[in-house]
């Protein structure tokens, strides 16, 4: 008996199998690629990592703090998380629209006197606006005041508000300059010569004298970082507050403090409560001139309290405690309080609590007493840190703007990390020689054009260390601008007002903040690591 041959499968079924196998192979390959990327990807910003990753980062280092590498923390305006768009800027198109509206006012050439300019003529402002757009391309011009007369008949002083395009926040700054005005073709005005930063003194806004003691202090009326008062009586009882007592975060690094404070602010948002903020900070010894931790520093020296008040529900700790005591003194029924002795009580467990005050206490030993522990584990899914709420101090940013403006916003910069790192040959064997004056001249020669303004952001303590660069560039160091925080400066006067009339030191953290922000505004930026040296930023084998 013959054996029957197997029945051949239809061609359609074979095609379906081939397509299915191919699709499955593509799917497996895509999953493999995604997995590899997920495992090897490293976020460029440590603040964007998960809470467990940050916790591990804190606790693995000595005393659970960041290693000091003379870098500055990034805040809300750096991460582009600020709320609302910046104000619209003046453009060539907007200038042309205004120019078209006043074209009928065009006078005969005989009506314009050579050597004399009517600064209130709107065409003078148009000429200045056009010049500024060409000269300062990194600046967004927001609004101008009407020009006024300068010291000569052909000079006009004008003030304007602006922001730097590299700054993500919508804060405005002021400049006022003197321009020499001439007559161009077809009886139009043109800028013959622009003045330097803040040269147009006749257009400067009048200074407002503060009524606070001492009476000679000057207040910047564009900064409102006064402490809001808390309502008395029944108002306090109806409020809902989240109060964190001081924990182990105090006197740690400023990055550590911000990570923890934003955890508290995030929990307050989640619980729909007002966060009680302690404005008294502790400056770590790494940033103090004494090398020791210094308590009693005002939060407003370093961060923008006005912006924080606008975007978050907060109350200053002293005002909060006074309101609480005032209520207890005048009412038989005390303020209902829930004391939370451990961070292990999650925000989700507190969500339904209706008591006036939720008081988190951090009395356990380190690292159990860190504020940021509240946001770990399951809480990470619910608590979102409000990065947009924290901006750098506008007083410090005014110094940054002043330095950049004095270089006409046309400068390059190099970041030269030296200090203790240059002396540690074990971790950075080549850093000292790679950042020597001779090496700097040789390496910068291929990156920065000779004759350029060169800002050097550095922790090198010796001012004359960079003298060899001066024959090649117009070198600028932070110390060249020390009058901006000296005892005749606006910064000095304004910070004294925050400190009950006592002078405030321009400390190491402020220096690093200003240095870094000026560095960010350079047209060409040269970094120490990967540009000047092949040593790893975090030491040997850490690249």
Tell me the pairing of strands 474-477 and 453-458. Answer: parallel
Supply the DSSP string of 320-364, one letter for each residue: HHHHHHHHHHH-SSPPPEEEE--TTS-HHHHTT---SEEEE---S
What pairs with residue 183 in β-bridges?
A: 189
Spatial separation of the C-alpha atoms in residues 239 and 230, rounded to whole Å: 10
Spatial separation of the C-alpha atoms in residues 111 and 402, rounded to whole Å: 39
Q: Residue 6 carries which DSSP code?
A: P
pLDDT at residue 56 tops 80: no
Spatial separation of the C-alpha atoms in residues 418 and 457, rounded to whole Å: 11
Q: What is the phi/psi pair of residue 190, to 5°?
A: -145, 155
What would the pLDDT profile of 110-151 be if each residue is shown by its tens digit? Answer: 556 667 889 998 989 999 999 999 999 999 999 999 999 999
User: CA–CA distance from 139 to each of 264, 290, 344, 405, 452 (Å)?
Assistant: 36, 39, 49, 10, 19
What pairs with residue 223 in β-bridges?
A: none
Supply the DSSP string of 6-48, one letter for each residue: PPPPPHHHHHHHHHHHHHHHHHHHHHHHHHHHHHH---SSGGG
By residue count, the chain amounts to 543
pLDDT category at 61 given cuts 50, 70, 90 is: very low
Contact 306, 223 (CB under 8 A): yes
Task: Count Cβ atoms within 10 A of the Cβ of residue 32 and give its class: 0-12 exposed, 13-18 middle, 19 or more buried.
Answer: exposed
| pLDDT reported for residue 105 | 58
The 3-state DSSP class for residue 413 equals: strand
| pLDDT reported for residue 103 | 66
Instruction: Please report, for the chain, the start and end positions of each structural domain, with discontinuous segments joined by +.
Output: 92-208, 234-389, 394-526
Range of lowest pLDDT (214-218, 309-313, 384-388): 214-218
Spatial separation of the C-alpha atoms in residues 519 and 516, rounded to whole Å: 5
Spatial separation of the C-alpha atoms in residues 106 and 137, rounded to whole Å: 29
The first and second tokens of residue 404, run together, are 């950049």
User: Higher pLDDT residue, 26 or 397?
Assistant: 397
Spatial separation of the C-alpha atoms in residues 211 and 497, rounded to whole Å: 10
Counting Cα atoms < 13 Å in the Cβ hemisphere of 94 gives 10
Spatial separation of the C-alpha atoms in residues 524 and 533, rounded to whole Å: 17
What would the pLDDT profile of 248-283 be if each residue is shown by its tens digit? Answer: 999 998 889 999 999 999 999 999 999 999 999 999
What would the pLDDT profile of 226-243 be if each residue is shown by its tens digit? Answer: 888 876 555 788 899 999
């Amino acid at each position: 008996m013959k054996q029957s041959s197997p029945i051949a499968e239809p061609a359609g079924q074979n095609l379906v199998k081939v397509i299915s196998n191919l699709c499955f192979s593509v799917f497996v390959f895509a999953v493999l690629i995604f997995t590899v990327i997920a495992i090897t990807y490293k976020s460029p910003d440590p603040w964007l990592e998960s809470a467990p990753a940050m916790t591990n980062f804190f606790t693995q280092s000595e005393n659970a703090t960041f290693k000091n590498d003379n870098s500055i923390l990034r805040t809300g305006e750096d991460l582009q998380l600020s709320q609302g768009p910046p104000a619209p800027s003046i453009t060539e198109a907007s200038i042309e629209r205004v120019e078209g509206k006043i074209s009928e006012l065009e006078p005969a050439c005989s009506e314009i006197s050579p050597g004399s300019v009517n600064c209130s003529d709107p065409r003078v402002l148009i000429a200045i606006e056009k010049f500024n757009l060409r000269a300062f391309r990194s600046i967004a011009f927001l609004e101008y005041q009407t020009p006024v007369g300068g010291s000569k008949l052909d000079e006009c002083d004008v003030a304007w508000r602006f922001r730097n395009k590299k700054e993500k926040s919508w804060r405005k700054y002021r400049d006022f300059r003197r321009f020499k005005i001439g007559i161009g073709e077809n009886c139009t005005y043109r800028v013959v010569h622009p003045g330097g930063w803040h040269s147009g003194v006749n257009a400067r806004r009048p200074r407002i004298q503060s009524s606070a003691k001492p009476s000679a202090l000057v207040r910047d009326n564009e900064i409102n970082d006064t402490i809001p008062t808390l309502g008395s009586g029944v108002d306090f009882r109806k409020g809902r507050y989240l109060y964190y007592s001081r924990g182990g975060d105090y006197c740690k690094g400023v990055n550590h403090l911000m990570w923890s404070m934003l955890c508290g602010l995030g929990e307050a948002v989640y619980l729909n409560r007002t966060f009680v903020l302690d404005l008294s900070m502790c400056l770590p010894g790494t940033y103090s001139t004494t090398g020791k931790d210094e308590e009693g520093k005002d939060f407003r020296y370093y961060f923008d309290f006005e912006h924080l008040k606008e975007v978050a529900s907060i109350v200053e700790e002293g005002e909060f405690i006074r309101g609480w005591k005032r209520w207890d003194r005048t009412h038989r029924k005390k303020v209902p309080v829930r004391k939370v002795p451990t961070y292990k009580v999650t925000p989700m467990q507190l969500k339904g609590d209706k008591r006036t005050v939720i008081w988190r206490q951090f009395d356990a030993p380190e690292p159990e007493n860190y504020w940021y522990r509240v946001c770990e584990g399951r809480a990470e899914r619910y608590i979102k840190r409000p990065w947009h709420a924290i901006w750098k101090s506008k007083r410090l940013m005014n110094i940054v703007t002043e330095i950049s403006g004095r270089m006409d916003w046309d400068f390059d910069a190099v970041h030269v990390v030296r200090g203790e790192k240059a002396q540690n040959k074990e971790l950075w064997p080549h850093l000292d020689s790679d950042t020597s004056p001779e090496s700097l001249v040789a390496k910068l020669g291929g990156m920065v054009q000779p004759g350029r303004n060169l800002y050097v952001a550095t922790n090198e303590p010796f001012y004359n260390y960079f003298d060899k660069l001066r024959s090649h560039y117009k070198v600028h160091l932070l110390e060249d601008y020390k009058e901006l925080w000296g005892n005749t400066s606006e910064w000095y006067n304004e910070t004294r007002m925050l400190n009950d009339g006592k002078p405030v030191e321009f400390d190491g953290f402020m220096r690093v903040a200003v240095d870094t922000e000026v560095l960010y505004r350079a047209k060409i930026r040269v970094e120490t690591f990967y540009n000047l040296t092949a040593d790893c930023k975090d030491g040997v084998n850490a690249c």
